[in-house]
Structures are given as C-alpha cells and as structure tokens.
Amino acid sequence: MIDEATVEARAGNGGNGLVTFLREALRPLGGPAGGNGGNGGSVTLVADASLNTLLKFRWRRHFIAKNGGNGARNKRHGANGESVDVTVPVGTEVWRIGDRAGEPEIFLGDLVHPGQRLEVAKGGRGGLGNAAFVTAVNREPLLAEAGEAGETVKLRLNLKILADVGLVGMPNAGKSSLLTAISAARPKIADYPFTTLEPVLGIVEHGIDAFAAVDIPGLIEGASDGIGLGHEFLKHMQRTRLLVHVVDGSEGEPGERIRAINQELDAFDPKLAQTPQIVAVNKLDLEEVELLRNEIEEEVREAVGEDTPVHFISAATRRGIDDLVAAISYRLADIRKQDTVANEATQVPYFQDGRDPLDDDNLPVFQPRMADTRMVVRTAADSYRIVYDRAVRLALGSNLDNWDALVQYHQRLERMNVTTALRRAGAKNGDVILVGEWEFEWQ
C-alpha cells in the first residue's frame, strides 16, 4: 500500500500589466489604456472518496498551473491562468517540506471529508496596467506592474485511513478472518504469520447503522524497534474511535500477549493506547478453547481490567459474531455521543481567546504600513538593493530609462515608505540603488 508520497506544486505567475495610451482617429488623446495582467492559476488538493492509495503519485509528482495572460490595449485584462485540481484519498494529511535542509515541516491541512479542498500553491496576482495608476495629479502614468510570482511548494502527503474500528492483535490471531466474517472485505487468509501485508478496509452493517473497520498487519513484541513488519501501519489506527483486540484463544498466556500489543501501541502513540477497546477471543470452535474459556477470560481480565468487554467468538463458524458486532455498534454510538457533547462544550466565541466581538475595545485596529528596513538590503558600502516585492514588480513592469517614468517611480517609492527605509538603512546622495534589473543613483 502506497500511503506516503512527495510531490511538488507550482502555481502560475500573474500576467504583466501594460503601459499604453489610447490612440484613435477621433480620440487622439484618449489617455492611459494599459490593461491589468490576469491572475496565475493555483494548485488545489481535493479529497476523493473513490481513492484509497497514493499510488498515482509514484508516476506523477509535479503539478503545474498555468500563468496569467498579460494585459492588453484598450484596458483589456489578461486571462486568468488555469488552475489545477489534484485528487487525493480522503484521510490525507498535507505537510509542506522546508526549502532548506533541517527546516521543520509545516502542517497545511487534513482532508477528512469527501470534496474537501485545500489550496497548497496560490497563483500570483496579475500586475496593474498604467490605466490603474491614474490620479488627480497624474493623468499620464508611465508605470505598470509585472505579475507576481506564483508559489512553488514541495509537499509530503501522508494517508491515514478513515475507519471507526481498528482490528489489532498478534499475527495469525484471526483479524482477517474476523473482517471477512463481519464485512464484504476479502483479505488474504492463510495459516502462516504476516499473511496480511497492508491495511484492509471493510464496511460492517448493523441494522440501519454501519461502520468502517480496518485490519492492519499483525504486531509482535518489539515492533516499535522494527521487528516483524514494524509498526509503520499503526498510523492508520490513529483516527479510529474503537479498537477490537483479537486474541487467539488456542495459544497460551493471552494476557501477556495483550499487554505486549498494548505496549507497542503506547510506544507508537500514547493517545492510541488510551483508545477504548473490546477484546475478541477467537477460535471458540476449538475444543480446548471451549474447555478453558473461564481460565482464558480470567487472564484477559487481569490484563485489560473489568471495564473492557470480552467476547468469545469463532470467525470460522461465525459463533458469537452477531453479538460482537452489536457490542461494537452500541459502543461506537456511545463514543459518538460523548464526542458530540465534548465538541459542544468546547465551542468558543468568534475570537479564539474568548473576547466579545461586539465590544468596541475588541475591534481590529488597522494601522498604516510603517517603513521597514527589510524593504532594502545593503549590498556594498555605497550600494543598496530594493527587495520589497511591490516595488520590485513595479520596476520590472516599467521602463525606468524614461526620465518621466523614473520620477513617477520615485513618487511611488515615497508612498510605499521605501525611501524612508533607504534613508534609515544609510543611503545618501550618490549611492547606487538596485531594483530588479534597473540601477539608478540616489538623490
């Protein structure tokens, strides 16, 4: 089962704005007419209930959205770039991998509902054409913006199967046989350990209710250290609400085997060890299990306590199966009810810290952008580079060889507080200012 994959998502760049003026026979001075660039397409992950593996990402790992179109004459805007939707299985976690080695991953989202969408790479905004820069004092703007670069991200996709019930136990305890007996799933069944090599999901019906159960490869003592198949598949149990601990009643020391499995669960995830359990002692069709039933139950009780239900079953003959399914269904109903009450009790007001959104003192305060020396970088004793994105895109979209355009650009830098940042960084008359591919002297 392919339950982990690494992919790259690249959003489209925004289109460039245009500097142009309307020139028509009857309107020789029609004014600025440069259109805006279109927005770049985005890359979005979409949860698809028909998928149950990340296998397709073995062959395709790069997803690229289209760039936005450039602005055109007569104030015509460029077309928006086509976005890309990438389908993933329900239950997929999405992590952003750091750009530098050793940088921690960032959790972006968890797609747990069919149709749920998560935008992972946002397309760049289209640049403004010169028609957008018209003001009362500047009727002939010579500036336009280059489109914003789209995001490029590297992602780790981690699939955790969505199931209500998880079947755990030692190899050959009868988990696959039990799943076959209670659902339409048909996992491989054989008389040797580790027949099940990957998780198998089945849907179990009980009256008008139904629940999903997942069977994972058998665990043995030391699985957390990589013995046997290890515990790599235990992550698929982290979403379950109830564990059914399947025990082979024909083998000795059932209590010790239960403790060993529970220790492995705790080693993998302490929360998993706290998940409610039901014990199913299998192979009741064997005479020795029937004869030792009381002794087996006593040992199991010592391991799990009096509050954990214990059922004796035979997956081969279906003896006790109906009672077990009913017990699972009723226990799940109680757990769901408890979860609903807990969720209602933890609901918070609009503000996460409990503040009243109707109180005037809690209204958001918007402040003007203050000059930030991070808008510029000193590259030499008498040289500075402007790195503020809006200022860089404005330079890239304009012809700063034109003196009038350069004057207008300086005025825009003043409005962006970039000139203040340059002065604070130490820029003085005669210093060289770099921005994009342009270079000019500070005055």
Q: Walk along the chain (443 residues) and give the pLDDT tens digit of each residue.
A: 678 899 999 999 999 999 999 877 666 667 899 999 999 999 999 999 888 889 899 889 999 999 999 999 999 999 999 999 999 999 999 999 988 888 899 999 999 999 999 999 999 999 999 999 998 888 899 999 999 999 999 999 999 888 899 998 888 888 888 888 888 766 554 454 445 557 788 888 888 788 888 888 767 666 556 665 556 677 888 888 999 999 998 888 889 999 988 988 888 888 888 899 999 999 999 999 899 999 999 999 999 888 999 999 998 899 999 999 999 999 999 988 887 766 655 554 544 444 555 555 555 555 555 555 578 888 888 899 999 999 999 999 999 999 999 999 999 999 999 999 998 888 888 899 999 899 988 87
Spell out the domain ranges in the chain: 1-159, 165-344, 373-441
Bridge partners (DSSP) of residue 441 are: 432
Q: Which CATH number fits domain 373-441: 3.20.19.10, 1.20.140.10, 3.30.300.350, 3.90.850.10?
A: 3.30.300.350
- Topology of the domain comprising 1-159: Spo0b-associated Gtp-binding Protein; Chain: A, (2.70.210)
CA distances from 303 to 193, 245, 279 (A): 24, 12, 11
CA distances from 315 to 309, 311, 435 (A): 18, 12, 73
CATH number for the segment(s) 165-344:
3.40.50.300
Residue type at 28 in one-letter notation: P
Contact present, 45 and 118 (Cβ < 8 Å): yes
Distance CA 261, CA 163 (A): 20
Contacts of 315 (CB under 8 A, 6+ apart): 174, 177, 178, 180, 181, 282, 283, 321
